[in-house]
Amino acid sequence: MAEEILEQGMFIKKGAMVTGTIVKIADNQAYVDVGYKFEGVLPARELSAVPVENIAEILQIGQTVTCKVVAIQEDKELILLSKRQIDQEAAWETMQQYLQDNQTFEAKVAEIVKGGIVVDVGVRGFIPASMVERHFVEDFSNYKGRTLKLKVKELDRVKNKLILSHKDVLEEEAQALKAERIHALQADQIIEGVVQRLTPFGVFVDLGGIDGLVHISELSWQHVDQPADLVKEGDKVRVKILKIEPENGKISLSIKAATPGPWESVSNQFKIGVTVQGTVRRLTDFGAFIEIAPGIEGLVHVSQIAHRRIRTPHEVLKVGQTVSVKILDVNAKDKRVSLSIKETEEAPPPPARQEREPKGQKSSIELPESQSLNFTLGERFGDKLSKFKP
């Protein structure tokens, strides 16, 4: 009769489900009155799917619990109970439903293990490190005891495998917030954001739950080699919204467009006829672009580079070179400045000309006596004249 007890005309057998009240907690196990002659014992190992260090922190005297009978120790007049097995059967069904419905639920972190964290949802649920947050987390020690919103990522009841994700919930929340936020924004709007991330091609700015990209060409009115030269993560910046693409969630931003441009004061800053210093920024076949102030470049046409004729600017200039230029024209509206290098230099003197003899004067050529021109026609042409008759 080790597997079942007859008491007051009712049976208790192994595998049966019983409900009782906790009457005592000692030696990290709970004693449960199940209404029979034998007292029920619920060890800490049978309380939860995860290890329990102190059963008294979870259960209290007078609390009602439902357990499964796992063994009957007649010699000790005890019934070994398991709450874990009851919870597991219900938990697998619940988790399966959550997976099918893509439903979010909450669970408390019970344990920190290598490679992730563990929660008790009636069964042992494992959250891999890569599925805890949207960003990398090196130390999970402060996660113990925290309640997380989770989704079922993978479930295999036969292998007793349950993989959960907190990151998926955060991604969904971020997408919902992003959609809500993006509809509240408008092109040409100037707002404040926080630099979130730097890349070689630009800067991502957090606009309050949604990121926008400031391309490197939109960071400043002057040339920027790399974003780190101008901003760092955490900096607050004012940006102008250039373009919004709700269908793919992309937002194009500009920091320079949110600040006064250098061309607004160019007419007052540079006067026609004045000579200034500049830096060669670009060379083309038709001329050279010279930066005369941050964000302001003027063109020196190839014909205005040197007094002598050159085919391309590369013959006399190189990028990064400092040169003196004269302001020929300023057009702030079209953002154009015409410059000249050769007008800052003194023109070379014209080449010396060879002297020419006066017009109509012939040069005399002296010949040796033997080659004198004093000869008669007869001596010159000889008998050739005899052929002609008068």
Structure tokens at 241: 């919204």
What are 206-250's pLDDT values in tens digits?
A: 998 789 999 999 999 877 889 999 999 999 999 999 999 988 889
Structure tokens at 24: 């005592």
- The answer to whether residue 382 sits within a structural domain is no
* Dihedral (CA of 208, 213, 218, 219) sign: positive
Distances (CA, A) of 386 to 361, 375, 378, 380, 383: 37, 18, 10, 13, 5
20 and 45 fall within a common domain: yes
Return the pLDDT at 383. Answer: 53
- Determine the distance from the C-alpha atom of residue 271 to the mean position of all C-alpha atoms in its chain, rounded to a whole number: 43
Percent of the chain with pLDDT over 90: 61
Residue 347 has pLDDT above 60, yes or no: yes
Return the pLDDT at 385. Answer: 46
Q: What's this model's pTM, rounded to 2 decimal places?
A: 0.52
- The answer to whether residue 192 sits within a structural domain is yes
Of 193, 223, 258, which residue sits at a domain end? 258
Cross-strand bridge partners of residue 81: 69
* Residue 224: partners with Cβ closer than 8 Å, 6 or more residues away: 216, 230
C-alpha angle 102-103-105 in degrees, rounded to nearest 5: 140
**Averaged confidence pLDDT in the chain:** 86
58 and 129 fall within a common domain: no
Residue 390 has pLDDT above 80, yes or no: no
Q: Is the pLDDT higher at 140 or at 180?
A: 140
The three-state secondary structure class of 233 is coil
* Residue 11: partners with Cβ closer than 8 Å, 6 or more residues away: 4, 5
Return the pLDDT at 362. Answer: 53
Of 328, 344, 360, which residue sits at a domain end? 344
Return the pLDDT at 226. Answer: 93
69 and 31 fall within a common domain: yes
Report residue 121's pLDDT band, with 50, 70 and 90 as the boundaries. very high
Nearest Cα residue to 207 out of 186, 223, 226, 228 = 186
Return the pLDDT at 260. Answer: 81
Contact (Cβ atoms closer than 8 angstroms) between residue 68 and residue 79: no
CA atoms of 230 and 218, how far apart (whole Å): 12
* Residue 314: partners with Cβ closer than 8 Å, 6 or more residues away: 283
77 and 10 fall within a common domain: yes
Return the pLDDT at 194. Answer: 96
* Residue 70: partners with Cβ closer than 8 Å, 6 or more residues away: 14, 46, 80, 81, 82, 85
> What DSSP string describes 39-90?
EEEEEGGGT-SS--S-GGGT--TT-EEEEEEEEEEGGGTEEEEEHHHHHHHH
Return the pLDDT at 174. Answer: 84
What are 60-106's pLDDT values in tens digits?
A: 999 999 999 999 988 888 899 999 888 888 899 999 999 999 999 99
Contact (Cβ atoms closer than 8 angstroms) between residue 285 and residue 315: no
Contact (Cβ atoms closer than 8 angstroms) between residue 168 and residue 105: no
* Residue 225: partners with Cβ closer than 8 Å, 6 or more residues away: none
User: Which residue has tokens 């953002």?
Assistant: 335
Residue 374 has pLDDT above 70, yes or no: no
Residue 366 has pLDDT above 60, yes or no: no
11 and 79 fall within a common domain: yes
Domain range enclosing 25: 4-84
Over residues 189-213, mean pLDDT: 93
- The answer to whether residue 360 sits within a structural domain is no
106 and 69 fall within a common domain: no
195 and 210 fall within a common domain: yes
Residue 210 burial by Cβ neighbours in a 10 Å radius (0-12, 13-18, 19+): buried
- The answer to whether residue 353 sits within a structural domain is no
Structure tokens at 16: 């049966």
Contact (Cβ atoms closer than 8 angstroms) between residue 107 and residue 121: yes
CA atoms of 313 and 286, how far apart (whole Å): 8
Return the pLDDT at 92. Answer: 94
Residue 11 has pLDDT above 60, yes or no: yes
Of 53, 84, 115, which residue sits at a domain end? 84
- The answer to whether residue 380 sits within a structural domain is no
CA atoms of 153 and 119, how far apart (whole Å): 14
Number of domains in the chain: 4
What are 241-280's pLDDT values in tens digits?
A: 999 998 888 999 999 999 887 777 787 788 999 999 999 9
Return the pLDDT at 346. Answer: 85
213 and 242 fall within a common domain: yes
254 and 272 fall within a common domain: no
Nearest Cα residue to 146 out of 165, 122, 118, 113 = 118
Return the pLDDT at 332. Answer: 85
249 and 268 fall within a common domain: no
Q: Is the pLDDT higher at 160 or at 355?
A: 160
Percent of the chain with pLDDT over 70: 87
Q: Is the pLDDT higher at 372 or at 54?
A: 54
- The answer to whether residue 189 sits within a structural domain is yes
- The answer to whether residue 209 sits within a structural domain is yes
Return the pLDDT at 333. Answer: 84
Helices of type H across 197-322: 266-269
Contact (Cβ atoms closer than 8 angstroms) between residue 156 and residue 205: no
- The answer to whether residue 364 sits within a structural domain is no
CATH number at residue 192: 2.40.50.140
